[in-house]
Amino acid sequence: MPLPARLPERIPTVVLDSHEALSRTIARRIAEVIAGRRAAGARPVLGLATGSTPIGVYRELIRMHREEGLSFRGVVTFNLDEYYPMTPESIHSYRRFMQENLFDHIDIDPADTHVPDGDVPRDGVRAMADAYEASIRAAGGIDLQLLGIGKTGHIGFNEPGSGAESRTRLVQLDVITRRDAAADFFGEEHVPREAVTMGVATILEAREIAILATGEHKSAIVRRAVEGEVDLEAAATFLQRHPNTTFYLDTAAAAELTRVATPWMVDEVEWTPELAVRAVVWLSLRTGKAILKLTQGDYAEHQLSSLVARHGSPGAVNGLVFNALGAKIRGKSKLPEGRRVLVFSPHPDDDVISMGGILHKLTQNLNEITVAYMTSGNIAVFDHDVRRYVDFLERLARDRGIGKGDVPGFTAQVREFLATKQPGTVDSEAIQDLKRIIREGEAVSALETIGLGRGNARFLNLPFYQTGKVRKDPIGPADVAIVRALLEEVRPQLVFVAGDLSDPHGTHRMCKEAIDRALSEMSGTPPEAWLYRGAWQEWPVTEATWLVPMSQEELKLKIQAIFKHQSQKDSAPFPGAHDEREFWQRVEARNKETAEMLNRLGLAEYFAMEAYVVA
């Protein structure tokens, strides 16, 4: 179906329901390009990208290779970029990333895979970059270039200021890019300041470009790239000049596109109750008027006359939306009582960060609550915390004689490892266990703050997380089996699941995948599922099914529970980029902002609120 003529998108854009659907679509397109080039008697040439977004594509290509016979013999690949300096063997190198996530699992000739060399002497970088360009030309040019997009709008490592004529070269990394990468390197101070990248002109010479984006945190830059002017400060906007580029987005990354955010400004729409709520809330905020004060003139001026016509008068529309929003509010008396409730927390603090308020209310309502911590979260514990607990063990052995025979050898082993550990080195098994135990103890302490305790906690320690590295294995049958076993044991009537996609390394999304698969395998009536969001975003009031108010005292209690996660206090290892605030500060602001939003719309005034979506 052709897109409406008024659509402001300057790059063809495909929106898919999920990260998985996006991965399948791109992988199929890559397979088609390979087949087409072979049919034409040419060698297929692919431009590849790294990062968390294309991993799903690579996993689908591996599956197609193993199960459908997709062969990569004769395929030539060129990767976009590499950190500098960077040895190929480093845990952070993009060469190693490609080997572990694709090349080692398919039948491609290693000689046909190319990644910029981050290990050449500085005086040889220019020659290496020129040779990389020459290799691309010698291969006949790139048939399909896979791209991601950074929050600065960079493609490859073409940072703000990169020109349209730029070629493969050494670049300085933007501070935002380095901050984004900080978690991978266990600290921003360890992120290289430079990288070798294909230039914008090199990328634009590809015959076809597929650019991927997922998650709410990419929605703003996606809109700028797709709908904004070509801008030297956002290299992705140069793709508007390419004749065969397509953006592939999940629904979260597409959220700010005009056709998604305000479709009535693009074309005629069908006014469903949900869309009416979105439109009226948008109009209220746009005009600065409470919902019940919106007039015919307000609707007409903002292209919403058809909504008024559908309901007969502005008052009818205003009342409908006002009542719909009011019906979302669920205080303690309207929340479940005496039910079996299972809360899935991807990390050991997501429960209290995201839903500490409702957890306290559900406890007061005498629900039977189990909180399942799906991963250990052990990579998010600083080494100095381990040293502190090791010192505690040594003092306990010395002063109280507890563990006197075993502690000295154990603590010496830990101290020796930490003394020689390099940034990014995978922790020893002993240290991984110590970090897991630290986070488990914090989780129990947080539960006690809101009226639960040790008996309410279950630590699943799912296998997919146990790599000791930031990047995790895909969800497998063992992960699903553990989740399903807990579901069968508890037989919950209500489950809470993290439903956000802005978790920096996708753990929330992967945990949700394990839960969804386990629920699909369960016998009997499935439980009702409420989705919460984590420390990075909140459900908008227009999307939320339920809004749960909190008093000043309840918000304070929730923050006290967050404080119990002391290893994440003050300076968390993985706070998410571009937000220097601690988790409790984000929570306080976010929950107050949700309540303030209702106040601005003219509804009742509350101190703070949490938001949930019923799946």
For residue 189, the 8-state DSSP code is G
Domain boundary among 231, 259, 287: 259
The H or E element spanning position 213 is: strand 208-213
Helices (H) and strands (E) in the chain, counts: 20, 17
Split at pLDDT 50, 70, 90, the class of 149 is very high
Domain boundary among 239, 259, 279: 259
Split at pLDDT 50, 70, 90, the class of 3 is very low
Residue 252 lies in a domain: yes
Domain identity same for 525 and 470 = yes
Amino acid of residue 437: I
Q: How many domains does the chain have?
A: 3
Q: What average pLDDT does this structure show over 534-549?
A: 90
In this prediction, residue 447 carries a pLDDT of 98
User: How are strands ordered across the β-sheet holding 245-250?
Assistant: 13-16, 245-250, 208-213, 144-147, 45-48, 76-79, 113-114
The CATH number that applies at residue 352 is 3.40.50.10320
Domain identity same for 342 and 205 = no
Amino acid of residue 178: R
Residue 434 lies in a domain: yes
The H or E element spanning position 589 is: helix 583-600
Give the side-chain half-sphere CA count within 13 A for 443.
Answer: 29
In this prediction, residue 578 carries a pLDDT of 58
| Residue bearing tokens 């409790």 | 584
Q: What average pLDDT does this structure show over 567-576?
A: 71
Domain identity same for 270 and 199 = no
Amino acid of residue 338: G
Domain boundary among 217, 239, 259: 259
Domain identity same for 461 and 312 = no
159 is catalytic: yes
Which runs of consecutive H residues, i.e. helices, occur in 407-506? Answer: 407-420, 429-449, 477-490
The CATH number that applies at residue 154 is 3.40.50.1360
Domain identity same for 274 and 209 = no
What is the phi/psi pair of residue 594, to 5°?
-65, -45
Higher pLDDT, 182 or 610: 610
Q: Is the pLDDT of residue 403 over 70?
A: yes
Residue 29 lies in a domain: yes
In this prediction, residue 504 carries a pLDDT of 52
Query: How many other CB atoms sit within 10 Å of the CB of residue 218?
Result: 26
Q: What average pLDDT does this structure show over 169-184?
A: 87
Residue 85 preceded by cis peptide, ω within 30: yes
Q: β-pairing, 245-250 with 457-459?
A: unpaired
Q: Residues 6 or more apart from 98 whose CB is under 8 A from it?
A: 48, 50, 77, 79, 113, 115
Structure tokens, 20: 């998985």
Q: β-pairing, 194-197 with 81-84?
A: antiparallel
Domain identity same for 163 and 219 = yes
Cα 115 to Cα 59, 72, 83, 88, distances in angstroms: 19, 17, 11, 9
Which structural domain, as residue segments, surrounds residue 303?
Answer: 262-326
In this prediction, residue 468 carries a pLDDT of 65
- For residues 191, 192, 198 and 203, what is the CA-based torsion angle, rounded to 10 degrees? 20
Q: Is the pLDDT of residue 505 over 80?
A: no
Bridge partner list, 609: 549
For 30-77, how does the pLDDT look when each residue is reduced to its tens digit (9 = 90+)? 999 999 999 999 999 999 999 888 999 999 999 999 999 999 999 999
Domain identity same for 363 and 469 = yes
Of 63, 2, 1, nearest in space to 28 by CA: 63
Q: Residues 6 or more apart from 374 whose CB is under 8 A from it?
A: 344, 345, 346, 347, 460, 462, 465, 483, 511, 514
Query: How many other CB atoms sit within 10 Å of the CB of residue 160?
Result: 16
Instruction: Report the length, in residues, of the chain.
Output: 615
Residue 410 lies in a domain: no
In this prediction, residue 189 carries a pLDDT of 85
* 157 within 8 A of 177, measured Cβ to Cβ: yes
Domain identity same for 575 and 590 = yes
Domain identity same for 306 and 348 = no
Give the side-chain half-sphere CA count within 13 A for 542.
Answer: 18
Domain identity same for 167 and 301 = no
From the list 82, 159, 205, 227, the catalytic residue is 159
Domain identity same for 454 and 543 = yes
Q: What is the DSSP string of 103-138?
A: GGGS---GGGEE---TTS-GGGHHHHHHHHHHHHHH
Residue 518 lies in a domain: yes
Helix (H, G, I), strand (E, B) or coil at 610: strand
Domain identity same for 523 and 582 = yes
CA angle 41, 44, 49 (to 5 degrees): 175
For 244-295, how does the pLDDT look when each residue is reduced to its tens digit (9 = 90+)? 999 999 998 999 999 999 999 999 999 999 999 999 999 999 999 999 999 9
The H or E element spanning position 176 is: helix 175-181
Torsion 379-384-389-393 (CA) sign: positive
For residue 231, the 8-state DSSP code is B
**What is the model's pTM?**
0.85
Cα 460 to Cα 146, 369, 445, 455, 507, distances in angstroms: 36, 16, 18, 14, 14
Among the residue ranges 82-91, 176-185, 251-260, 550-559, the one predicted with the least confidence is: 176-185
Residue 390 lies in a domain: no
Residue 602 lies in a domain: yes
In this prediction, residue 575 carries a pLDDT of 56
Q: What is the DSSP string of 54-83?
A: THHHHHHHHHHHHHH----TT-EEEESEEE
Structure tokens, 42: 């040419």
Residue 393 lies in a domain: no
Q: Is the pLDDT of residue 471 over 70?
A: no
